[in-house]
Chain A
């Protein structure tokens, strides 16, 4: 069920935004800012780009995604539910005792999740292993890995970056959700990872840039990435933390906080 109509994709993203707020409000816990910044990235991947089958989530030759910034789980969960991997009803149980929807993604529990994540900096290494596995199996599928820009401060990211280039993992596409904020403040004030593009380029990546909230733009970048041979790709997606809810946008305090009932109403009014 590949969706090519941009308006339709926008509508999917719009519903996803509302669901993210519902999930986090319901749990009274979670990370709205980081979830809202990667909605279009996930929408584009799961509805337009990735070769997946919700009826067969473990299909051998599927494209896979590692959400290395695992705290954006509400975004991944709603996209997977909307895509049909599990009933949307389950979103109500996010972060609750007994739910498959853990605070951070658990691939043993959630249909459609390809790798567990949560401790920052680790997903890119797993993604490298998955990309190497595809090469060993002579499979054509692609591996996507979404990392946060603050996450780039983790040293392991750069160990993995070396690995991706060394093994010429052209089936690996890393997406940096470049929302420019981390828990303690602006990334450039806390521990500046910039220039992100030059760093990745010097590590042997092909660097592409996209407006992370513009689906057409993202599709173009993903299509371009598929054409690249012998090198891994990174798409630096320019995003806004908390995108779509005015009082959350570019506000550090909305990294990991649930809205109260008034804030929830306000957010839903804006999104409706």
Chain B
């Protein structure tokens, strides 16, 4: 772990996608005029014949991706999270999720950490709307190694996947080739004073908080919930049984995302109080990603305050 070294997960995505393209000639990549920022350009340069920039037309992006998938290709379709899942929601629903097609929607610039562009470009409800779709698997990765794993792993799933990526550079958490499993959270420590369940860019914050709290004699466990759907019920229930407090933290609206997913599991299986840290049902605002994390309280400091 080296939380001072940082790589944006969108960069990891672009690089892993190019590697995957070498391994599997059924991989096709589509973008909607954002290939330089979603990093699909890395794939495009190596495999121009399997890359399709459909222009500023996200609805069509999803439809063309569906058409390629129904013909036997594995489509990776990228845009910013707000356009990919918001603008093209009905296309994802009816042309991809319902027919259960092999389209991997990999969206960058999720959450308020998209930054200076402001609320229109800061997608805070994508996990919510994607996980409510039947047939959809939903991932939200936290660092470089995990993203590289996810990009390849989702190609093995026969069906639609949403992979949430981040614009902001994320601290390095994992060694290369760390073993992950879709649907299984990754746990740090066995502390019983509390559990912080995090996803995406907030995992590093949770780990920073864990370290600081340890110095104060408070031992918590951190769960990196890289798969939002199917959610790892077992790890959540175990945490609720074994620890005094459950906190969720996400760069996403507290409605519908990770916090809600955890609450749903616990309400049904093992009722426990949950503190949801995240964007509290308000739109984002312009600013630097790091500043916005402080502004919206999705930081290690705010986790520490809960103890």
A interface, CB within 8 angstroms of B: 106-108, 114-119, 121-134, 136-137, 155-156, 159-160, 162-163, 166-167
Contacts and interface: CB of A to CB of B under 8 A. Distances in A.
Nearest to A104: B94
A122 B94 contact: yes
Interface string B35-66: 00000000000000110101101011011111
13 contacts: A119-B91, A122-B63, A125-B64, A126-B70, A128-B63, A128-B64, A129-B63, A129-B71, A136-B28, A136-B50, A156-B63, A163-B64, A167-B52
Interface in B65-118: 65-73, 75, 90-91, 93-95, 98-100
A132 B52 contact: yes
Nearest to A128: B64
A163 B53 CA distance: 10
Nearest to A155: B59
9 tightest A-B CB contacts, nearest first:
A129-B67, A125-B63, A133-B71, A159-B60, A159-B57, A126-B67, A129-B64, A116-B99, A119-B94
A134 to B, nearest CB: 7
A110 B68 CA distance: 20
B71 A108 contact: no
Contacts of A127: 67
A131 B64 CA distance: 9
Interface string B163-201: 000000000000000000000000000000000000000
Nearest to A161: B60
Identify whether the interface residues of A are mostly helix, strand, loop, or mixed. Answer: helix
Main secondary structure of the interface of B (DSSP, over half): helix
Contacts of B70: 107, 114-115, 126, 129-130
B57 A126 contact: no
Contacts of A166: 55
A106 to B, nearest CB: 7
Q: Which among A106, A125, A130 has the highest number of chain B CB atoms within 10 Å?
A: A125
A125 B98 CA distance: 16
Q: Which of B59, B72, B73 has the most CB of A within 10 A?
A: B59
A166 B33 CA distance: 15
A127 B65 CA distance: 10
Contacts of B28: 136
B99 A115 contact: yes
Contacts of B69: 129
Nearest to B58: A159
A106 B90 contact: no
Contact of B57 (A117, A131, A162): A162
Given A129-B63, A129-B66, A156-B59, 17 more contacts: A106-B99, A115-B70, A119-B91, A122-B63, A123-B63, A125-B60, A126-B95, A128-B63, A129-B65, A129-B71, A130-B71, A131-B67, A132-B67, A134-B71, A159-B54, A159-B57, A167-B52
A56 to B, nearest CB: 15
A128 B99 contact: no
A101 to B, nearest CB: 16
Contact of B67 (A130, A155, A159): A130
B201 to A, nearest CB: 32
Nearest to B59: A156
A39 B71 CA distance: 26
A116 B54 contact: no
Contacts of B57: 156, 159, 162-163
B73 A136 contact: yes
